[in-house]
Amino acid sequence: MATNGATAARPRRYLLLLLVALAALAVDFGTKEWVLAVFEEGESVDVVGSFLQFTLVFNTGAAFSMGTGYTWVFTCIAIAVVAVIAWIGRKVRSAWWGVTLGLMMGGAAGNLVDRLFRDPAPFQGAVVDFIRLPNYPVFNIADSCVVVGAVLVVALTFKGLNPDGTWAKDGKDEDGKAGPETAEGKGQ
């Protein structure tokens, strides 16, 4: 994608991305440590009736506890996700994309910390999950960050906002200034 002065002048949002990722990681870590200090495994407490409960479980698999024998694979995937977001995030000039990728990076890093440092062993650690909704698997703040980030990726993509801050349809940036050439080859 070609760039021009308007895009080059737009500040990179890498610091925003990293701050959002660190905030997500800190909140995830803090809530997990709180749950571990207060609850026994399997213990449930109603927060909002039976609609929202806190239930401490340890998950060595992925979502819905699938792949419990392949924890090391999910660890490697999480390392790759964090690394790829760190790499591509350097070019982000959109605040929305900075927040979105920061949420995804922080969420992936939150569960990665569990997989690397929790029992039973490095690269095989169990993820601490504790948020329970009816008819849904137990999850944590990191999982929520990844899901919200993924929803935002879809929304931003359908809206036409590129990570460099330009709009796919007219080549203008978030502020309405002319941006780089669009995918159709038309510049403004």
Q: Say what the pLDDT of residue 10 is.
A: 73
Instruction: Please give the pLDDT value at position 158.
Output: 96
pLDDT at 7: 53
pLDDT at 2: 47
Dihedral (Cα; 147, 40, 75, 144), 10-degree rounding: 10
pLDDT score for 177: 63
Rounded distance, CA 169 to CA 151, Å? Answer: 21
Question: From CA 40, how far away is CA 90, in angstroms rounded?
Answer: 41
The confidence score (pLDDT) of residue 66 equals: 75
Q: Which residue has the tokens 């698999």?
A: 61
At 171 the pLDDT is 56
Identify the pLDDT of residue 188: 32
Q: Is the whole-model pTM more than 0.85?
A: no
The catalytic residue positions are: 129, 143
Instruction: Give the pLDDT confidence score for residue 170 in this predicted structure.
Output: 64
Mean pLDDT, 10 residues at a time, the chain of 188 residues: 54 95 98 97 93 94 74 91 96 96 98 94 92 94 97 97 88 58 37
